[in-house]
Amino acid sequence: MKYINVHVDHVTRVEGHGNIVVNVKEGKIEECRWEVVEAPRFFEAFVRGRSYLELAHITSRICGICSVGHTLASLKATEAAMGVQISEQTRLLRRILIQGENMQSHVLHTYFLAAPDFVGAPSVFPLVKTHPEVVLRALRLKKLANDLCDVFGGRTVHPITPTVNGFTKLPEIKAIKEIRKRLAKAKPDLEATVELFKSFQIPDFKRETEYISLKSKEEYALYDGVIASTDAGTTPVENYRQWTNEYCVPHSTAKYTKNVRESYMVGALARFNNNHEQLSPGAKKAAAELGLKAPCYNPFMNNIAQLVEVVHAVEESSRLIDELLARGLQEEDRRILIKAGRGVGAVDVPRGILFHDYTYDKNGVCVAANCVIPTNQNHGNIQKDMEAFLPHLLDKPEEEIRLSLEMLVRAYDPCISCSTHLLKVDFIK
């Protein structure tokens, strides 16, 4: 194909709108561009002047899918600013909660957004008739994850019970025991999910890049840790600005980031590459069966890494619940000494490492805020992957080029909280 003009207008599954622009003339690639044209959302501006008790509830609305992660990153930033050391009970409850969110999001993406591409369906809805058992399995796993977040966060989305230095209401022991039983019964659904994804043909594409995530000596890091890079080692989360290096590009209203290379990747694949040895036994087994080995440089394998993390979430949350039940729950004093200060909070949410950075005055009122979102950190890497992937597609039919470009974007699981319609690609000759 000598002339190709591909314009994916208003790409969905990012927070707002994004476009893919490809222009090929006489076999020469003249344009290959990932444009992000989402509207500014101003969260960092309108948390200024608000009380420290309000920020977590406000910033959780940045994303309905990662609301737990934003809540916890916000609370950690506030606690760091005011020198608060949380109890082991609070830390344990939060670690369970973030596992629930990881499972929520990954089941949504792997089953409902990614899987249709591999079976030739435009969306999940045709699968209700052709593969009802698959859809029912997906719904069971999604409900389990939703209910796990409900028990430990007070509701399914935008958790209401986590607060600065604790929880406003502790989960009921009866509800904890019930969700623990349901987690134990999820094994057949997990095994069937692994078998399903083993049958999918993952595109064979590799591009080595830098992978950044949290890293902890204690566990497969989601809640706590230092920043880790496959290229640059580790650094405390307080140094995030030196590693994210946000910058602007003319064709994007979202900031891009870079560290050692021109771009880096965050998310499930980055976590796997940095922390795979700390996965649960079942997750390690799933990774082996699915052909996921570290280091992996295929961005399409991010979907597989997400599935591996679903298995890990079930096993790790079960282990943490057992620890919690053995310890018992008790009401704790949540009072803190309000003071001026600056703090940084970092967690690894489904789409990658997330940073919240707040400065407070002596009354506990926010005077400055900065949030670095995972999807924004991936924009530059999507661009570089497109540039490397496109030359392999030029001899393909138009429909295959379209699908391949869409699948590359979907592989990153960019946030969909502000957009709901499907991708549309127009070829203009």
- Among candidate residues 226, 205, 231, 208, the one with its CA nearest the CA of residue 216: 226
Residue 398 is predicted with a pLDDT of: 78
Residues 200-250 have pLDDT tens digits of: 999 999 999 999 999 999 999 999 999 999 999 999 999 999 999 999 888
Residue 366: its H or E element: strand 366-372
Q: How confident is the model at residue 35 (pLDDT cuts 50, 70, 90)?
A: confident
10 Å CB burial of residue 83 (0-12, 13-18, 19+) is: exposed
Q: What is the dihedral of CA 201, 14, 316, 240, to 10 degrees?
A: 120
CA 24 vs. chain centroid, Å, equals 33
How long a stretch of residues is the chain?
429
pLDDT at 84 over 50: yes
In the numeric block, which tokens belong to residue 115? 């899987």
Residues 279-315 have pLDDT tens digits of: 999 999 999 999 999 999 999 999 999 999 999 999 9
Q: Are 359 and 49 spatial neighbours (Cβ–Cβ below 8 Å)?
A: no
Residues 176-203 have pLDDT tens digits of: 999 999 999 999 999 999 999 999 999 9
pLDDT at 142 over 50: yes
Determine the residue type at 73.
A
- Among candidate residues 281, 299, 150, 264, the one with its CA nearest the CA of residue 220: 281
- Distance (Å, rounded) from C-alpha 278 to C-alpha 312? 10
Q: How confident is the model at residue 23 (pLDDT cuts 50, 70, 90)?
A: confident
Q: How confident is the model at residue 427 (pLDDT cuts 50, 70, 90)?
A: very low
In the numeric block, which tokens belong to residue 83? 């020198």
Q: Are 267 and 382 spatial neighbours (Cβ–Cβ below 8 Å)?
A: no
pLDDT at 406 over 70: yes
366-371: long-range pairs with CB below 8 Å, 24+: 366/47, 366/48, 366/49, 366/50, 366/51, 366/52, 366/55, 367/48, 367/49, 368/48, 368/342, 369/43, 369/44, 369/47, 369/48, 369/55, 370/44, 371/43, 371/44, 371/59, 371/62, 371/73
Given the candidates 3.30.420.40, 2.120.10.30, 1.10.645.10, 3.30.390.10, the CATH classification of the domain at 43-379 is 1.10.645.10
- Distance (Å, rounded) from C-alpha 242 to C-alpha 43? 22
pLDDT at 418 over 50: no
Residues 252-288 have pLDDT tens digits of: 878 899 999 999 999 999 999 999 999 999 999 999 9
Q: How confident is the model at residue 428 (pLDDT cuts 50, 70, 90)?
A: very low
> What is the bridge-based pairing of β-strands 210-215 and 264-265?
parallel
Three-state secondary structure call for residue 243: helix
- Distance (Å, rounded) from C-alpha 193 to C-alpha 342? 44
Three-state secondary structure call for residue 347: strand
- Distance (Å, rounded) from C-alpha 15 to C-alpha 37? 10
Q: Would you give the DSSP letter of residue 350?
A: T
Domain boundaries, the chain: 43-379
Three-state secondary structure call for residue 57: helix
- Distance (Å, rounded) from C-alpha 257 to C-alpha 264? 8
pTM for the model stands at 0.94
Residue 16 is predicted with a pLDDT of: 54
Q: Are 272 and 303 spatial neighbours (Cβ–Cβ below 8 Å)?
A: no
Q: What is the mean pLDDT of residues 73-78?
A: 99
Q: Are 390 and 32 spatial neighbours (Cβ–Cβ below 8 Å)?
A: yes
**DSSP strand E in 85-199: where?**
162-163, 166-167
* CA–CA distances in Å: residue 359 to residues 42, 43, 241, 323, 356: 17, 14, 15, 35, 10
pLDDT at 347 over 60: yes
pLDDT at 423 over 50: no
